[in-house]
Amino acid sequence: RIKASGLKLRFCTNETQATREKFVRKLQGMGFDISVAEVTAPAPAACRLLKERSLRPHLLVHNDLVPEFAEIDKTNPNCVVIGDAAENFTYANLNEAFRLLIGMEKPVLISLGRGRYYKETDGLKLDVGAYMKALEYACDVQAEVVGKPAEKFFESALAEMGVPAEQAIMIGDDIVNDVGGAQRCGMRALQVRTGKYRPCDENHPDVKPDAYVNNLAEAVDIILQQL
Amino acid sequence: RIKASGLKLRFCTNETQATREKFVRKLQGMGFDISVAEVTAPAPAACRLLKERSLRPHLLVHNDLVPEFAEIDKTNPNCVVIGDAAENFTYANLNEAFRLLIGMEKPVLISLGRGRYYKETDGLKLDVGAYMKALEYACDVQAEVVGKPAEKFFESALAEMGVPAEQAIMIGDDIVNDVGGAQRCGMRALQVRTGKYRPCDENHPDVKPDAYVNNLAEAVDIILQQL
């Protein structure tokens, strides 16, 4: 419906458990009209950054994300890239990433997002942000975040659409990473009351969405009514 | 030699991978004259705190530490106690502790120390402080720390010896937890250049030991020379 209306559309995800290809196939299976070229995601953003600065990463990421880094030189690492590694967040893997970082003259930690947690069918899970904080503290460094809510990430999505921030609206379930991040870039933002939404989000001390909607379909209704 | 000189002596450890009994046996095996009654450790301090506030912990600790909590009611937990759980720091266990905390009306997280890392024969390992930071961030809470460098912890040790802070000296290898913590309580502190000591500690922005020694024996020499 958004596309049919002539509005431009971009999917901004912090998904780092799978390649964009896999992510797109999943959404296509749910009936979404979506292609890889319409997705802004942290891993390609990280690859651009690694190339620009000649960084060779040690990857602490989900196995399914590794193909996104296929063209990156990973020998003799001089930085650590952390994503939502899920089952790969083992004690041994965390110690390995830590030892590499603490052994660097100037540790460089790149994080594919700063999410605190997310919801899966079997319950809430710690997200990459929690493990990022563990490594930041242990190594006394500050991670560079390349996913939402980083401004650069939203700016990339806007540039890819060719739309100025004040003419764009973000729809998301995450009060800080989706709503807060987009608003800091000058966009408006709707919070959907689904997914990781929690009622206490409506009393968030720093972030207030421009409006709430009960689900994605209602967001589309509201946006199309304004045209 | 310290004991023979008539000086009072107390062993202050953040060891949370074993009961005091096991810790003492290990040091006795190295030739130290030490008994359980001479050890100030985080687990007993946590037990006192849990009893005072009627808290029932979920334990994320090393298996060998569990006996220290034998007399504590652990049914229907209303707080989480985190120690250096080592191999128990699995993805599943961290998610479980997180879900319990985030489900509490007012999450209470008690941490048996805030160490960043420590050294074992097979290399550096992330310490409890890193995992504490992960849970703090995910749940937006601040942990209560009961081991070094908490002031209460050093005060307990001083009270147990019956010695005022200004007449006590701390010897330790950790610039922040041993040296900084003791100095904040009004004690003097020596840093030994062994164990987790690293040369860059000598340029620490906040903490400066009263003196450096190359090892424990040299610390004893210096202290006995001053009598």
Domains in chain A: boundaries: 42-145, 163-226
* Cβ(B102)–Cβ(B138) below 8 Å: yes
Per-residue HEC secondary structure of B9-43 comes to CCEECCCCCCCHHHHHHHHHHCCCCCCHHHEECHH
Q: Which of residues 159 through 198 in chain B touch A, CB cutoff 8 A?
A: none
The yes or no reply on domain B163-226 and CATH 3.40.50.1000 is yes
pLDDT at A70 > cutoff 90: yes
B-chain residue closest to A90, CA distance: B90
Cα separation, B57 vs B50, in Å, equals 8
Distance CA A210, CA A220 (A): 15
Per-residue pLDDT, averaged over A79-99, amounts to 97
Query: Does residue A80 surpass a pLDDT of 90?
Result: yes
Q: Does residue B205 have a cis peptide bond before it, meaning omega lies within 30 degrees of 0? A: no
Query: Can you read off the two tokens belonging to residue B137?
Result: 């961030």
Instruction: Give the model confidence (pLDDT) of A112-121 as tens digits.
Output: 999 899 888 8
Q: Which of A87, A94, A127, A132 to mutate to test the interface with B (most CBs of B within 10 A)?
A: A94
Could you report the predicted ipTM of this complex, rounded to two decimals? 0.82
* CB-based contact A117:A127 (threshold 8 Å): yes
Q: Which of A89, A91, A98 sits opposite B87 (nearest CB)?
A: A91
Among candidate residues A177, A201, A62, the one with its CA nearest the CA of residue A131: A62
The answer, yes or no, to whether residue A227 has pLDDT greater than 90, is no
Per-residue pLDDT of chain B (227 residues), as tens digits, is: 999 999 999 999 988 888 999 999 999 999 999 999 999 999 999 998 999 999 999 999 999 999 999 999 999 999 999 999 999 999 999 999 999 999 999 999 999 999 899 888 889 999 999 999 999 999 999 999 999 999 989 998 999 899 999 999 999 999 999 999 999 999 999 999 998 899 999 999 999 999 999 999 999 999 999 88
The pLDDT of residue A144 is above 90? yes
A138 touches chain B (CB under 8 A): yes
A23-32, A217-226, B111-120: lowest mean pLDDT where?
A: B111-120
Q: Which residue has the tokens 């020694």?
A: B213
Q: Which residues of B are less than 8 Å from A90 in CB distance? A: 90-91
CATH of domain A42-145: 3.40.50.1000
Q: Is A120 on the interface with B (CB under 8 A)?
A: no
Domains B42-145 and B163-226 share a fold: yes
Q: For residue A17, is pLDDT > 90?
A: no
With contact defined as beta carbons under 8 Å apart, do B189 and B154 qualify? Answer: no
β-bridge mates for residue B211, sequence order:
B190
| Residue B116 sits at the chain A interface (C-beta within 8 Å) | yes
Per-residue pLDDT, A125: 96
